[in-house]
């Protein structure tokens, strides 16, 4: 495997492109938005500079990594030479189904089509392609260059051969792959999202403020980051989309998204990427905003 196509250049796509390029793969990064592609290249450059400062890479690795990434706005051009495609577009079922149908026509029969989806059924995505056995979930964690886990999700039709290939590939990226089956939220988000949703309910019901909730979980449970700050980093729109998948998939009221989360996403407060969520973000800085006002106090 040499040529990797990454679709979507947002929070996850730029990290996936960075990681593959740094490990010697040629990366085609595809997005419908030129602005998103430019921002992604800038983010990758900034992150490489941070690695350089820390001494974990040298100037040559930085230059080579950037040289291995080419950007495209045309899906066919970006995917035609791929040995592996990793889709990291917006967490929306219709967008993903359309993309995989197109990819199935653009790519050869032996190309593995992976999705970085946090929650959407791999089995359903595979069903719109010509070779469902070649479709798999490759769920990286945020920030991709730093986080060790890759949750490898086997759809109903995913073959053993494809699963082994993706597990081995993850190891060449210096990641720890874990194989799981395809049910709503897989493992990571089935456990994480109800906790984040409960933290938002705790704020919504006025039990405690943003910093108090995060401090309890950081100091009391030894979590490196509180659940509200983590939600800001993941993206509140992404959290909402995942909770809806869990709610629809299991039909259980316990996954119903908190109305405060719905309001914040509707108002455009999607977390770090929009500059505000439970906290307000300015480059290199973090200050608390009056998030309690959304709780209807
Ligand atoms: N944010 C996280 O922490 C996180 C963690 C793990 C997995 N994921 C998953 O990764 C995927 C991407 O999430 P994100 O947080 O990077 O989203 P994001 O909103 O930051 O970026 C999504 C990008 O996809 C692009 N896009 C939309 N439709 C497209 C199309 N048809 N073709 C090409 N590009 C298209 C958008 O322009 C945008 O740049 C989602 O499936 C999400 O569930 C997210």
Instruction: Identify which of 5, 6, 11 to mutate to test ligand 1's pocket (most ligand atoms within 8 A of the CB).
Output: 11
Tell me the CA–centroid distance for residue 240 and ligand 1, in Å: 14
The predicted pLDDT at position 295 comes to: 52
**Catalytic center residues:** 118, 139, 151, 189
Tell whether ligand 1 has an atom less than 6 A from the beta carbon of residue 131.
Answer: no
Tell me the CA–centroid distance for residue 92 and ligand 1, in Å: 9
156 Cβ contact partners less than 8 Å away, ≥ 6 residues apart:
123, 126, 132, 182
Q: What is the CA radius of gyration of the chain?
A: 19
Tell me the CA–centroid distance for residue 212 and ligand 1, in Å: 30
Tell whether ligand 1 has an atom less than 6 A from the beta carbon of residue 89.
Answer: yes
The predicted pLDDT at position 293 comes to: 53
Give, for all 297 residues of the chain, the pLDDT tens digit.
Answer: 999 999 999 999 999 999 999 999 999 999 999 999 999 999 999 999 999 999 999 999 999 999 999 999 999 999 999 999 999 999 899 999 999 999 999 999 999 999 999 889 999 999 999 999 999 999 999 899 999 999 999 999 999 999 999 999 999 999 999 999 999 999 999 999 999 999 999 999 999 999 999 999 999 999 999 999 999 999 999 999 999 999 999 999 999 999 999 999 999 999 988 989 999 987 666 666 655 555 544
Tell me the CA–centroid distance for residue 82 and ligand 1, in Å: 19
Bridge partners, residue 176, by sequence: 149
The predicted pLDDT at position 296 comes to: 44
The predicted pLDDT at position 267 comes to: 95
Tell whether ligand 1 has an atom less than 6 A from the beta carbon of residue 151.
Answer: no
Write the DSSP string, 181-206: E-STTTTHHHHHHHHHHHHHHHHHTT
The predicted pLDDT at position 119 comes to: 86
Tell me the CA–centroid distance for residue 118 and ligand 1, in Å: 10
Tell whether ligand 1 has an atom less than 6 A from the beta carbon of residue 17.
Answer: no
The reported pTM is 0.90
The predicted pLDDT at position 245 comes to: 92
Tokens of 291: 């998030």
Tell whether ligand 1 has an atom less than 6 A from the beta carbon of residue 28.
Answer: no
Tell me the CA–centroid distance for residue 5 and ligand 1, in Å: 14
The predicted pLDDT at position 163 comes to: 98
Contact status, residue 192 vs residue 206, Cβ threshold 8 Å: no
Instruction: Identify which of 7, 9, 10 to mutate to test ligand 1's pocket (most ligand atoms within 8 A of the CB).
Output: 10
Nearest-atom number in ligand 1 for the CA of 118 is 43
Write the DSSP string, 48-73: HHHHHHHTSS-HHHHHHHHHTEEEES
Dist CA 118 CA 87 (whole Å): 11
Tell whether ligand 1 has an atom less than 6 A from the beta carbon of residue 71.
Answer: no
Nearest-atom number in ligand 1 for the CA of 242 is 43
Tell whether ligand 1 has an atom less than 6 A from the beta carbon of residue 185.
Answer: no
Tell whether ligand 1 has an atom less than 6 A from the beta carbon of residue 33.
Answer: yes
């Amino acid at each position: 495997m040499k040529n990797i196509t990454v679709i979507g250049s947002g929070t996850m796509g730029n990290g996936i492109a960075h990681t593959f390029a740094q490990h010697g793969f040629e990366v085609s990064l595809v997005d419908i938005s030129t602005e998103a592609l430019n921002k992604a290249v800038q983010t990758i450059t900034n992150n490489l500079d941070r690695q350089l400062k820390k001494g974990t890479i040298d100037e040559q690795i930085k230059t080579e990594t950037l040289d291995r990434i080419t950007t495209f706005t045309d899906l066919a051009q970006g995917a035609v030479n791929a040995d592996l495609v990793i889709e990291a577009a917006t967490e929306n079922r219709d967008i993903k189904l359309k993309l995989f149908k197109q990819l199935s026509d653009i790519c050869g029969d032996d190309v593995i089509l992976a999705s970085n989806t946090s929650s959407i059924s791999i089995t359903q995505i595979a069903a719109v392609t010509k070779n469902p056995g070649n479709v798999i979930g490759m769920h990286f964690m945020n920030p991709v260059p730093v986080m060790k886990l890759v949750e490898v999700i086997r759809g109903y039709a995913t073959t053993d051969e494809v699963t082994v290939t993706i597990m081995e590939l993850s190891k060449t990226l210096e990641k720890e792959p874990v194989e799981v089956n395809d049910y709503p939220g897989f493992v990571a988000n089935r456990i994480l999202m109800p906790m984040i949703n409960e933290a938002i309910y705790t704020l919504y019901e006025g039990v405690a403020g943003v910093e108090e909730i995060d401090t309890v979980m950081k100091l009391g449970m030894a979590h490196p980051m509180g659940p509200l700050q983590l939600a800001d980093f993941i993206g509140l729109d992404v959290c909402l989309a995942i909770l809806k998948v869990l709610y629809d998939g299991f039909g259980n009221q316990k996954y119903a998204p908190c109305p405060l989360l719905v309001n914040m996403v509707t108002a455009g407060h999607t977390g770090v990427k929009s500059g505000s969520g439970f906290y307000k973000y300015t480059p290199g800085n973090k200050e608390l905003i009056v998030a309690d006002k959304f709780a209807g106090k």
